[in-house]
Structure 1
Amino acid sequence: MTLAYIPSPTISQFQLGPFTIHIYALTMLLGIVACVWILTVRWKKLGGTFDQILDTTLVAVPSGIVGARLYHVVTTPEKFFGANGDFWEIFRIWHGGLGIWGAILFGALGAWAWCRHRHYPMALMADAIAPGLLVAQAIGRLGNWFNQELYGKPTTLPWGLKLNMTGSAIGNAESCYDGSTCPTGTLFHPTFLYEMIWNLIGAALIVWIGRKTVNKLKAGSLFALYVMWYTLGRSWIEMLRIDFSHEILGLRVNEWVSIIVFILAAVAFIVIQRLCPFTDVLSEKLRAVTELERRQLAEENAKKDRREPRNEKVQFSDDPDAGMDGAHDKKPE
């Protein structure tokens, strides 16, 4: 008899007037808001402004969502192409299926392009956003809980996940994913919870390391540590998951990606220590760029004020025969 377990939500969406609100989407939005807030706090300390973060976010977030979906499509093409595929399912992201690797890659490319355009130090941006990304990913995993998806192998542990086999959640009829039927009451490893805890621990560690090594590690180091921490955790969590995934030499695709990206991040960390400047150097550059933007904005506002026509009062003559010439101020008698 199971004495303790983690229950699954009874809903994954709700109606708001004529609109269907998916909780999965809400967790994504909440994660983005949390990430932007953390990034803004850290960026301002380095000499930047919220407007700079907002502009970068408007470029990076859509890029990341597109990349996340493309990664899922590329790694599971049979869901969208071929005899049993549905091409239009590509655009239904509320049904789940966003790959974090595509999100990070395309989001980073979008942010890099904007930072290069605006002359913001990308290494500073990467370090500032590192803990925020982990917090956002932790919040986003709640969406998997509501969807009842991406859970792990059966377990007898007291924190096992119990599926709710009713409702419209993605996992309500996918208890074992492999076509077999699990006994009623089977519990599963809550891999979404494992990743949430792992990510939050990582976010706290990165903030702590950043404070302790502010004059020792080069700019960009914290982002490399973020990638290493996340891929390390994703490697062992991925081994527990039982959702469908292609395998190469006995390992799931995401396991291979985690291993390869971890190695690349470790190499990048070493290269950063040799080639990149310290944080305080780039912070001074950011402060100079910020001051230049403020001056340019002040000049644009001043020019705008000069171009606006003045609201001058016109006094008309009481003489009806004065015509338009009477539209001048009367001289006092």
Structure 2
Amino acid sequence: MTQFLANIPSPPQGVWYIGPVPLRAYALCIIAGIVVAILWGDRRWQARGGRKGTVTDIAVFAVPFGLVGGRLYHVATDWYKYFGPGRDPLDALKVWEGGLGIWGAVALGALGAWIGCRRRGVPLPAFADAIAPALITAQAIGRLGNWFNQELYGSPTTVPWGLEIYRRVDEFGMVDPIRGHAIDQGAPLAVVHPTFLYELLWNLLIAVLLVWADRRFRMGRGRVFALYVAGYTAGRVWIEMMRTDAATHLFGIRINVFTSLIVFALAVIYLLVVRGKREDPELVRGKPLPGDDDYEAEPASGAKTGGDAQEPSTATTGEKAEPDRSREERDQE
């Protein structure tokens, strides 16, 4: 028994009930990560010259796109869990039970962010740079959900920080690792490497690296985001190879290892090819929308002239004609 004294115990359960309503730790961790990413990302965006609230507006598009993309990637790479003999395809919709692929989340989340950036009139690379440290911190927070679900762990180990895995059963005595409750926390089924914790700590280290590099080199043009991708994938390769949970393999290697290596190479190439300092703060401000402090609604056409009156021409006033300006240019002045 003394060999387990220094180990990390798993929570006895991952779901609590308030009456008939389930309170799922995994979902709460994901939500907490999203909140932190938005709040911190908004502060960094304002520090770069952007308008307050822009990150929240863009998150309205990026977050749901990211969640859908993350789930699609997970189902595509772990399809055998949901399709085939004895499987229920509807289980693919049960996001609360875990299973979000980061690369699907980044890909579709980037599409949602692009839509939001277009709406606000701000460059996507600048937005990506602002939220990069907050995004990887959100991933670290989300990894706590894997701890509650007793998932994403490695092989048996004798290290002092080994993770204790318990047998969980539901109210009918059936084994249920997600919704069940540990029946005997004094006798773990196994003590394993807590790979979820390794990734959590690695993500926090990368977040610190991103903040330091951004301040030191005033990075821009999407280079902070590229550094985030390169740093995360470098850690994901060795952490993924330690995991022992079921996964799709390619040539005997987990498919996420191949994905991480490819994405790492692309991120490094981007860092080597793209150059330039941060974008001009005036460019980052974008265009004001209703709700912004500096938003001024334009009067309806003809409100002061009856609808058909025209501005005096330069021929009668003697003033020098100004080139036509777009609404965005007028708003930025």
Normalised to the residue count of structure 1, the TM-score between the two structures is: 0.81
Q: Is the 8 A contact 2:15 2:178 kept in 1?
A: no
Q: Is the 8 A contact 1:70 1:102 kept in 2?
A: yes
Letter in 2 for 1:207: V
Query: How far 1:295 sits from its partner (Å)?
Result: 8.5
Q: Is the 8 A contact 2:166 2:190 kept in 1?
A: no
Q: Is the 8 A contact 2:8 2:161 kept in 1?
A: yes
Distance 1:251 1:41, change over 3 A: same
Distance in structure 1 (CA, Å) of the matches to 2:144 and 2:258: 25
Structure 2: give runs of 5+ residues left out of the alignment: 170-175, 182-186, 304-333
Alignment correspondent of 2:199: 195
Distance in structure 1 (CA, Å) of the matches to 2:297 and 2:196: 51
Greater helix content: 1
Q: How does 1:239-278 map to 2 (within 5 A)?
A: 239-273=241-275, 277-278=276-277
1:35-56 Cα distance to aligned partner (Å, 9 max, x none): 0111000001122223321111
Alignment correspondent of 2:177: 169
Deviates more, 1:226-235 or 1:91-100: 91-100
Alignment correspondent of 1:95: 97
Query: How far 1:284 sits from its partner (Å)?
Result: 2.2
Letter in 2 for 1:131: P
Aligned mate of 2:217, from 207, 213, 217: 213
Query: How far 1:298 sits from its partner (Å)?
Result: 2.2
Distance in structure 1 (CA, Å) of the matches to 2:74 and 2:80: 11
Distance in structure 2 (CA, Å) of the matches to 1:263 and 1:73: 25
Paired residue secondary structure (1:15): strand
Letter in 2 for 1:169: P
Letter in 2 for 1:26: L
Distance in structure 2 (CA, Å) of the matches to 1:6 and 1:119: 48
Paired residue secondary structure (2:22): strand
Alignment correspondent of 2:307: none
Paired residue secondary structure (1:299): coil
1:50-97 Cα distance to aligned partner (Å, 9 max, x none): 332111111000000000100011101122222232111111111111
Alignment correspondent of 1:38: 40
The yes-or-no answer on 1:17 pairing with 2:15 is no
Structure 1 moving runs of 4+ over 4 Å:
290-296
Distance in structure 1 (CA, Å) of the matches to 2:29 and 2:120: 30
Alignment correspondent of 2:230: 228
Letter in 2 for 1:260: I
Distance in structure 2 (CA, Å) of the matches to 1:115 and 1:213: 25
Aligned positions, number: 288
Query: How far 1:172 sits from its partner (Å)?
Result: 7.5
Normalised to the residue count of structure 2, the TM-score between the two structures is: 0.81
Letter in 1 for 2:177: A
Q: How does 1:1-333 map to 2 (within 5 A)?
A: 1-2=2-3, 3-167=5-169, 168-170=176-178, 186-214=190-218, 217-273=219-275, 277-281=276-280, 283-287=281-285, 289-290=287-288, 297-299=295-297
Return the index of the structure with the highest Cα Rg.
1
Paired residue secondary structure (2:151): coil
1:285-324 Cα distance to aligned partner (Å, 9 max, x none): 1236349995883226x77xx9xxxxxxxxxxxxxxxxxx
